[in-house]
Amino acid sequence: MGSNDVPSLLNPIHPSVVERLDPVFAEIYNRYQASRLRADQVPYEVYNRDREKYTFPTAQVSGESPDVASNQIYKAPVSNPPGEINVQVYVPTPDAIAAGGLEREGLLPALVNFHGGGFVIGGLDSDESLCRKLCQRVGCIIVNVDYRLAPEYPHPISTTDSWEALKWTFKNADDLKIDPTRVGVSGLSAGACIAAALALQARDDPSLPRLAVQLLIVPVIDARFVPKEGSCDPAKTPYKSYIDFEFAPMLPLNRLIWFYNLWLGTDEGRAERANDVRASPIVATSHANLAPAIIRCAEIDPLVSEGAAYHEKLTAAGTPSKLKIYKGQGHPFGHWDGVNPTSREFVSDCVNELKTIFAQK
């Protein structure tokens, strides 16, 4: 059975991983996802007609989202192709600012965030709960970016949009009361790929201040080895997790194939696009002098090996990096903190790491 098959209307946990999953993660999956089709199990056109039908009900498992002082949406201009994207700015309450202790001369640090979704799905709502928690618990501003999505806007538009949103943040730092010396980037999955790519691009752009941090959550780091169909050849992929976790819950290999085919295409130009540093940050010629990295991975995730490989690449180049792999967890666990203790641990870890970094700058 391939990971694209749906037995008897259900997506049960595959025998290859059932014993390795944390029981709490497995229970949440069985309750909310096992009886549902995933987006990658239908044609994109079918998914696009009724996106909610194929979307995991994250709001039912995420923790209570705290109130913030404001969460205004701005329009940021983008040029490739010309248009505008939404950028939502979360500002912490006065009490949270006081508790965080990070305000300096009326300015706060900021984290520019890029949501996940394989460059194909998702939006500002995807990370809303996490954005609110980081905003309030760290006491920093969150800039959440609604970059344009494939297949209508294929690679590299997600990253070029995001780069312009990062520059927009610096340009408007005074009005937003952001300290430009304490701006970081973050993202989950595809969004972490964008964040890593922007950290590389920002390092090489003398017009921008040095980034303070790159928070990479269950990151996509190397797009070169996901096939257009079928399974990975163990002899040709450097990432063991592609093989071990081909049938992982929530993000089986087939879901990556579906995303990447829509994002990078299936024509003869696919390999060249996958080798672009904006799709595969690990191929950069240098990983030195980058913003310190915080890499958070799920153990039962086909992407875990490339997350660990990027940590090794960064540390070998002298860039500080902290890697943590959450045992027994699947790809989207970070959003499940309303019902999963390990997810709450993850959120607290992010809060503590960001507080430390923003206080040092």
The answer to whether residue 174 is catalytic is no
* H or E stretch at 90: strand 82-91
The answer to whether residue 155 is catalytic is no
Q: Residues with Cβ < 8 Å from 265, sequence gap 6 or more?
A: 154, 155, 273
The tokens describing 150, both together, are: 């494939």
CA distances from 42 to 2, 96, 151, 351 (A): 14, 44, 15, 37
The answer to whether residue 335 is catalytic is no
Buried (b) or exposed (e) across 69-88, using 16+ Cβ within 10 A? eebeebebebeeeeeebebb
Q: What is the DSSP code string of 285-305?
A: S--TTPPPEEEEEEEESTTHH
Buried (b) or exposed (e) across 206-223, using 16+ Cβ within 10 A? eebeebbbbbbbbbbbbb
Task: Say what angle helices 157-171 and 190-203 make with each other, to 10 degrees.
Answer: 60
Q: Residues with Cβ < 8 Å from 181, sequence gap 6 or more?
A: 209, 210, 212, 361
Question: Considering 115, 155, 287, 331, which one is annotated as catalytic?
Answer: 331
CA distances from 190 to 48, 196, 219, 240, 346 (A): 19, 10, 7, 20, 18
Question: Considering 146, 301, 305, 321, which one is annotated as catalytic?
Answer: 301
Question: Considering 126, 186, 189, 280, which one is annotated as catalytic?
Answer: 189
Question: Which positions are catalytic?
Answer: 189, 301, 331
